[in-house]
Amino acid sequence: MLSRRLKPNLLITGTPGCGKSTSCELLQRRLSDYKYYNISDFAKEHDCYEGYDEDRKSHIVDEDKLLDELEPLLREGGSIVDWHVNDVFPERLIDLVVVLRCDNSILYDRLHARKYHDSKIQENLDAEIMGVVLQDAQESYAEEIVVELQSDTTEQMEANVDRIVDWVELWLKQHKKGVTNELEEGVSSDDNESD
Ligand SMILES: Nc1ncnc2c1ncn2[C@@H]1O[C@H](COP(=O)(O)OP(=O)(O)O)[C@@H](O)[C@H]1O
């Protein structure tokens, strides 16, 4: 049975610095009727924290509370979700997972420009080299909805956004066709039942 969402939910993920927020900003200009959720901001606004990690100097997100807040919004469809963690969203709520990748020396420069601590830069570079975010996505979602896209340059980012918009259009077309088929099958099986 098809999802009853009229528009897909897109999860844009990747190691910090790979370009999620910048890509989402471009994407939202093209999909202006979609809602954008930067989960780090969302967790802060909705107080979805369960503690503070002193070593990482970052808040620990209460994933249950986060999902309680987010699920009703995602059920509506038409969402662009931006977070480096991707394995907390139930598969039924996500239609496309884009994992952005970045060359390590470029990623180093971006994280350094952000004034991240050396240990935090190293942790993220290691995660990117080992493909941790991609692996999490592959373990959490069906193979056919996980797409890995390189995002080292502005040209690549623009091409990635074009690809995502094309994918959304295809989803909408297939979904419309699928819903029509389901309705027709529903009508014909109703006919059969009455035979
Ligand atoms: N494909 C790209 N080409 C050039 N610069 C990029 C690209 N993607 C991101 N950047 C730059 O890298 C920095 C980090 O990007 P950002 O979108 O904040 O990453 P994330 O949201 O994944 O942490 C920003 O200064 C952004 O302008």
Do strands 9-14 and 96-101 pair parallel, antiparallel, or not at all (unpaired)? parallel
Give the pLDDT of residue 3. 66
CA of 184 to the centre of ligand 1 (A): 46
CA of 183 to the centre of ligand 1 (A): 44
How many whole angstroms separate alpha carbon 79 and alpha carbon 73? 8
Would the pTM count as exceeding 0.90?
Answer: yes
CA of 20 to the centre of ligand 1 (A): 7
SS3 25: helix
How many whole angstroms separate alpha carbon 36 and alpha carbon 181? 31
CB 120 within 8 A of CB 56: yes
pLDDT tens digits for the chain (195 residues)? 566 799 999 999 999 999 999 999 999 999 999 999 999 999 999 999 999 998 878 899 999 999 999 999 999 999 999 999 999 999 999 999 999 999 999 999 999 999 999 999 999 999 999 999 999 999 999 999 999 999 999 999 999 999 999 999 999 999 988 877 877 887 666 555 444
Q: Which residues pair with 97 in a beta bridge?
A: 11, 146
Q: Which residues pair with 148 in a beta bridge?
A: 99
CA distance readout (Å), 118 to 22, 115, 122: 23, 9, 6
**Is 77 annotated as contributing to ligand binding?**
no
Which residue has the least CA distance to atom 9 on ligand 1?
A: 19
**Is 21 annotated as contributing to ligand binding?**
yes
Does residue 21's CB lie within 6 angstroms of at least one atom of ligand 1?
Answer: yes
How many whole angstroms separate alpha carbon 57 and alpha carbon 131? 23
Does residue 74's CB lie within 6 angstroms of at least one atom of ligand 1?
Answer: no
Domains of the chain are 4-175 (3.40.50.300)
